[in-house]
Chain A
Amino acid sequence: MSRQSVAKAHQKIQELSWEPLYHEPVAQYGTDYTFKKAQKKDPLKQVLRSYFPMQEEKDHRVYGAADGAIRGNMFRQVQERWLEWQKLFLSIIPLPEISAARAMPLLFRNVPNPELHNGQAIQMIDEVRHSTIQQNLKRLYMNNYIDPAGFNNSLRNFQNDYCGSIGRQFAEGFITGDAITAASIYLTIVAETAFTNTLFVAMPAEAAANGDYLLPTVFHSVQSDESRHISNGYATLLMALADEGNHQLLERDLRYAWWNNHRVVDAAIGTFIEYGTKDRRPDRESYAEMWRRWIYDDYYRSYLVPLEKYGLVIPHDLIEESWNQIWNKGYVHEVAQFFATGWLANYWRIDPMTDKDFEWFEGKYPGWYNKYGKWWENYNRLSTPNGHHPIVFEDVDYVYPHRCWTCMVPCLVREDMVMDEVDGQVRTYCHEACRWTDAVAFRPEYEGRSTPNMGKLIGKREWETLYHGWNWADVVQDMGYVRDDGKTLVAQPHLNLDPKKMWTLDHLRRCPPLQSPNVLLNEMSPAERQAFHADYVKQGPAGRPAPKD
């Protein structure tokens, strides 16, 4: 930047904002939070004159690396196991990114500090950058990786697949409901500050270990914008804390946002890092170890806890419980096992775990083999079609789970499942915290206080409902997960691309029809439902049926 120091330039652009004299800007988004007009310094000293060239320079590096990867035949060394999971990840992530851009205007009218709006506008365009740069990465994978299926129909798939729906919360939560709950607490304070470390720092490291150095290039470039977004959130949070009346809402929103992020992000990224890798060096960090470092130490201990002195009520119990889920209750393993059980409803290939994988898991998570080993051996045995059905229909000691109405990840830690009648429907939840989110937090009244701006959980949240009673071949065809010969499935439970080894619609045609657990649950009598619940919480681990006593 020429002569003028950034500080001076930054000072000058503060003269740009003005208070309306004649007409107020439109107020389209409500919040139950209250803010006092207060002059706080725009936390990120960013002037566009230096911002644009800086971003352009970052782009040069990313696109240079992309050219290099293709010239250097990177895909001869890329692990298919890893790239297959990118079909899921990169189908979802451009939406949360662009949703973060869309979330910024929710803050304009509600946070009465024009100096912050500048930073929010820059975040908006950063997020456009992230979304399109990630789409571009996916396009490059589609063009250069051996199996384009699943990349080529990506943005249709993530709209109708149950994993896509789980991931979409990480986007829709930013842009709807109470403006501060959504765009500040859920997006900035929790999703960006806590969880982008695992997304954009831990995951790239794993990609590199699997021969893919392009994903790290793109995602580190994305992550380098994140610190500015985090300071946007921090400034807003401090303003919110200044008003006592907000403390109760902050407590509610941190609980919801923390738990939902844990449920959704740990499910997905945990699975990619633990089950999507071929790097089984015994000293390679596990997801649990990364989580402990990035999320527990760096976010919880270093960022959240110091805010207690400003009156922030921190959900210590839920943070400890998330760790408990990951470390003691096998949350990530249960999710990966479920994704593999339901491989036939997906649009990527999931290969069986091998002895080498088993050994690594046992080393990192002692007791893993006793819980999950047998099931994965069965998965391997049933992976190529040979007169049997896909694993979900075979007797492998696995009970197909009910879904959590709130986070939409199934209720996999069976003992934690909670059942409740909410809005005239019997619903299952993966944990009391998810029940609370639906039945207590997302309501127009909270602990006796009116919260007219709080959002709502909407939509057909149980995916199976839509296909209740359908033949599986029709389900997969309806979703469009079929390859260009009109019958071979996009998804496969192995990595063998020999067409004779691949599953087709014909194999699915012979399977029993799909049944919606929630539809069936609501058809039960109250007594049957109680019995169902009593049995369910005795199931597991690894989806095992309840012991017969």
Chain B
Amino acid sequence: MTTTPERSVPKPVFTDAEAGAKEFPDSNARRFNYYTPAKRKQTHYEDVTVEVQPDPRHYLAQGWLYGFADGRGGYPLEWTALKAWGSDRPVPERGPGSGGKGYEWPAHGWHEFRDPNEEWELSFYRYNANVERQVNQNIDSARQQKAFEQWNPNWVRFVESHVGAWMHVNHGLGLYLFANANRRGPTNMHNTAMAVNSMHRIRSAQDLALYNLTLSEEITGFDGGAHLVAWNSDPCWQGVREVAEGLTGIDDWCEAIFAANIVFEPLVGELFRSQLVQQAAPRNGDFVTPTVMGAEEFDYAERDLAYSVALFDLLTKDREFADHNKALMNGWLSNWTPRCIAAARKLQPLWSQPDAKPPRFEDGLDRAKSRFAAILADLGLDIPKELTQ
């Protein structure tokens, strides 16, 4: 007689380790108790984001453990010149017998920032997967309906060169400005929002590149390399390129986000996307490009601008450093506004390239300027004089 040896597997055990099984101290304390929510109730977003990045000004008793060669560790507040209330209070000096000795949470105003988009992994992948599905479907159905055949030759040239050139702006800023900034902010909420922003830009860059690839396959004579020529040597694009490169060269992370999302995007990004591509495409028989560009337009207008405004709004209204911050931001405005307007003006010849013309460049620029002025007014910042020149 043979017996099958019993398989060695862990046996389930009834433990009754379920919430509510017993009453004892803390048995009902089911809430993260180390931070104060922005609104009355703690949100799911706050629960998965707030305090993951420690801070020696409140709980981090032993301080940062590893530093750069200059001895600075963690996330120095001085990585931006802007200040939130409490920034000037020194990190508590700890030593023998000092105890933990932190300031009461939040210790300084930076911890009050919340991403209004409440981005964390679940929301992030849902949103971006949806965008990719939609962009794909639009391009697929256009291909099936032979929609590209209606494009006139000038419009094909426009899309291959100029819509194509924009992918480089997205890619460069996505990596070297936004992804770079995710190491620089003083809280996890800042850095996560900037990482998400970075992926929007990198995704949009790839959307445009892959769209460009589809067009090379679908349209006879579509030059899949023309975007490189435009970006590398077309004088129309060199202003944009110069500013975009300048933006990646900014050391102060707040200035970088400010210059990119408060100045460059309304004056150059939206000017190009909303006032030119989105307007000209339908007139030239193209109903597909606007859906690809539209995804990016939505990223910026509905999400990335929103967190940026929330970020800077706290600082221009800061109870201790509002004036200090506004003075700095006004300085950034007077540097970046003329540079962005100059870049915008260099794009002007693009307006006359399609057969069916979009609304006039000057009208588009005016709209971009008033959008920009409205953002500044919300933040309580001065309209730079360069805007009216």
List of B residues within 8 angstroms of A80 by Cβ: 15, 17
Residues of B within 8 A of A143 (CB): 19, 30
Pairwise interchain contact A22-B125, C-beta atoms closer than 8 A: no
If the complex has contacts A16-B168, A169-B66, A460-B61, are A78 and B15 also in contact, measured as CB distance less than 8 A?
A: yes
Contact with A along B108-141 (1 / 0, CB 8 A): 0000000000001110111011011101100110
Contacts of A474 in B (CB 8 A): 99
Alpha-carbon distance A460/B34, docked complex (angstroms) = 22
Across the interface, do A461 and B241 meet the contact criterion of CB distance under 8 Å? Answer: no
On whether the beta carbons of B19 and A53 are closer than 8 Å, the reply is no
Is A483 interfacial (CB-CB < 8 Å)? Answer: yes
Given B17, B48, B54, B245, which contacts A159 in the complex, CB threshold below 8 Å? B54
Q: Determine whether the beta carbon of A52 is less than 8 Å from that of B129.
A: yes
Chain A residues whose C-beta falls within 8 Å of the C-beta of B125 in the assembled complex: 52, 55-56, 59, 129
A13:B209 contact, CB within 8 angstroms: yes
Convert A37-60 into 0s and 1s, putting 1 for each residue whose CB lies closer than 8 angstroms to a CB of B. Answer: 000000000011100110110010
Which of A97-105, A312-320, A378-386 forms contacts with chain B? A97-105
> Which of A196-204, A243-251, A355-363, A495-503 touches B?
A495-503
Chain B neighbourhood of A460, CB < 8 A: 61-63, 94-95
Q: Mark A457-484, 1 if CB is under 8 A from B, else 0.
A: 1111101011111100011001110011
The verdict on A21 contacting chain B, using a C-beta distance below 8 Å, is: yes
A485 (CB) vs chain B CBs: closest residue: B25
A121 to B183, CA, bound (A): 12
Q: By the criterion CB–CB under 8 Å, are A478 and B99 in contact? A: yes
**A95 located at the interface, meaning its Cβ lies under 8 Å from any Cβ of chain B in the complex:** yes
Chain B min CB distance to A347 (Å): 11
Given A146-B17, A460-B94, A467-B97, CB of A28 within 8 Å of CB of B34: no
Contact residues of B between 43 and 83, Cβ < 8 Å to A: 44, 47-55, 58-69, 71, 73-74
- The answer, among B22, B34, B74, B96, for a CB contact under 8 Å with A172, is B74
Residues of A within 8 A of B52 (CB): 94-95, 98, 131, 135, 155
Asked if A105 and B179 make an inter-chain contact with CB atoms under 8 angstroms apart, the answer reads yes
Q: Within 8 Å of chain B (Cβ to Cβ): is A73? A: yes
- A132 contacts B182, C-beta separation under 8 Å: no
B378 touches A (CB below 8 Å): no
* Complex interface: chain A residues within 8 A of B203 (CB): 48, 52
B25, B27, B179, B210: the one contacting A104 at CB < 8 Å is: B179
Other-chain contact of B195, A124, A210, A463, A502 (Cβ < 8 Å): A124
| Cβ-defined contact, A160 with B245, below 8 A | no
Q: Flag if B248 contacts A466 (CB, 8 Å).
A: no
**Contact, CB under 8 Å: B183 / A103:** yes
Residues of A within 8 A of B176 (CB): 25-26, 108
Give which listed residue, B21, B131, B209, contacts A146 with CB less than 8 A. B21
Q: A75-B17, A144-B18 are in contact. Are A176 and B179 (CB under 8 A)?
A: no
Check if A452 is an interface residue, CB within 8 A of chain B: yes
**A428 on interface, CB distance cutoff 8 Å:** no
Q: With A139-B47, A153-B33 known to touch, is A22 a contact of B68 (CB < 8 Å)?
A: no
CB within 8 Å of B: which of A163-203?
165, 168-169, 172-173, 175-178
Q: In the bound complex, what is the Cα–Cα distance between A17 and B33 (angstroms)? A: 45
Once the chains bind, are A466 and B129 in contact (CB under 8 Å)?
A: no
Q: Which of A149, A160, A210, A281 has the most CB of B within 10 A?
A: A160
A466 and B100 within 8 A (CB): yes
Query: How many angstroms between the C-alpha atoms of A446 and B121 in the bound complex?
Result: 42
Known contacts A13-B210, A125-B195; A152 and B49 CB within 8 A of each other: no
Q: List residues of chain B with CB within 8 A of the CB of A77.
A: 12-15, 17
Residues of B within 8 A of A55 (CB): 125, 129
Give chain A residues whose Cβ lies under 8 Å from the Cβ of B245: 20-25
- A133 within 8 A of partner (CB): yes
B212 in the interface (beta carbon within 8 A): yes
In the complex, what distance in Å separates the CA atom of A209 from the CA atom of B10? 5
CB within 8 Å of A: which B214-242 residues = 214, 217, 224-225, 227-228, 231-232, 238, 241-242
Cα–Cα, bound, A435→B378 (Å): 56
- Judging by beta carbons under 8 Å apart, are A159 and B121 in contact? no
Judge if B310 is at the interface, Cβ distance under 8 Å. no
Report which of B53, B140, B172, B196 forms a contact with A98, defined as CB distance below 8 A: B53
B213:A12 contact, CB within 8 angstroms: yes
| B174 interfacial by beta-carbon distance below 8 Å | yes
Chain A residues within an 8 Å CB radius of B49: 132, 135
Contact of A468 among B97, B172, B198 (CB under 8 A): B97
Which listed residue (A49, A135, A284) contacts B207, Cβ 8 A?
Answer: A49
* A457 in contact with B66 given A13-B206, A208-B10 (CB within 8 Å): yes
Q: How far is the CB of B281 from chain A (nearest CB, A)?
A: 21
> Hey, which chain B residues are within 8 Å of A208, CB to CB?
10
Query: Is the pair B171, A160 in contact by a Cβ cutoff of 8 Å?
Result: no
Q: Which residues of A contact B33 (CB under 8 A)?
A: 152-153, 156
Contact flag A467-B26 (CB < 8 Å), given A12-B212, A13-B206, A159-B54: no
* B41 at the binding interface (Cβ < 8 Å): no
Q: Contact check, B64 vs A95: say whether CB atoms are below 8 A apart.
A: no
Rounded to whole angstroms, the CA-CA distance of A455 and B74 in the bound complex is: 12
Least Cβ–Cβ distance between A59 and chain B, in angstroms: 6
B124-168 vs A, CB cutoff 8 Å, 1 = contact: the mask equals 111011011101100110000000000000000000000000011
Give the CA-CA distance A128 to B101 in the complex, in Å.
30
B8 at interface, CB cutoff 8 A: yes
In the complex, the answer to whether B13 meets A128 with C-beta atoms within 8 Å is no
Q: A23-B249, A101-B182, A148-B19 are in contact. Are A456 and B69 (CB under 8 A)?
A: yes
Q: Is A469's CB under 8 angstroms from B97's CB?
A: yes
A35 to B227, CA, bound (A): 29
B246 at the interface (CB under 8 A from A): yes
Task: Establish whether residues A78 and B122, one from each chain, have CB atoms under 8 Å apart when the complex forms.
Answer: no
| Contact (A17, B66) CB under 8 Å given A78-B15, A465-B96 | no
Residues in B with CB closer than 8 Å to A254 are none
CB atoms of B97 and A470 under 8 A apart: yes
**B244 vs chain A, min Cβ distance (A):** 9
Q: Is the CB of B61 within 8 A of A466?
A: yes
Residue B202 is within 8 A (CB to CB) of chain A in the complex: yes
CB of B191 closer than 8 Å to a CB of A: yes
User: B250 at interface (Cβ–Cβ under 8 A)?
Assistant: yes
Contact B32 A152 (CB under 8 A): yes
Contact present for A497 and B22 (CB under 8 Å): yes
Binary CB contact string for chain A from 275 to 314 against chain B (1 if under 8 A, 0 otherwise): 0001101011000000000000000000000000000000
Q: Does A223 sit at the interface, judged by CB under 8 A?
A: no
Contact with A along B2-39 (1 / 0, CB 8 A): 00000010101111111111101111111111110000
- Contact among B53, B66, B124, B184 with A455 in the assembled complex (CB-CB below 8 Å): B66
Q: What 5 pairs across the A-B complex have the smallest Cβ distances?
A: A483-B25, A156-B34, A159-B59, A56-B129, A209-B10
- State the B residues within 8 Å of A (CB): 8, 10, 12-22, 24-35, 44, 47-55, 58-69, 71, 73-74, 94-101, 120-122, 124-126, 128-129, 131-133, 135-136, 139-140, 167-168, 171-172, 174-176, 179-180, 182-184, 188, 191-192, 195-196, 198-199, 202-203, 205-207, 209-210, 212-214, 217, 224-225, 227-228, 231-232, 238, 241-242, 245-246, 248-251
Residues on A facing B (Cβ under 8 Å): 2, 4, 8-9, 12-13, 15-18, 20-26, 28-30, 47-49, 52-53, 55-56, 59, 63, 73, 75-80, 83, 94-95, 98, 101-106, 108, 117-118, 120-121, 124-125, 128-129, 131-133, 135-136, 139, 142-149, 152-156, 158-160, 165, 168-169, 172-173, 175-178, 208-211, 278-279, 281, 283-284, 408, 444, 452-461, 463, 465-470, 474-475, 478-480, 483-485, 487-488, 490, 497-499, 502, 516, 519
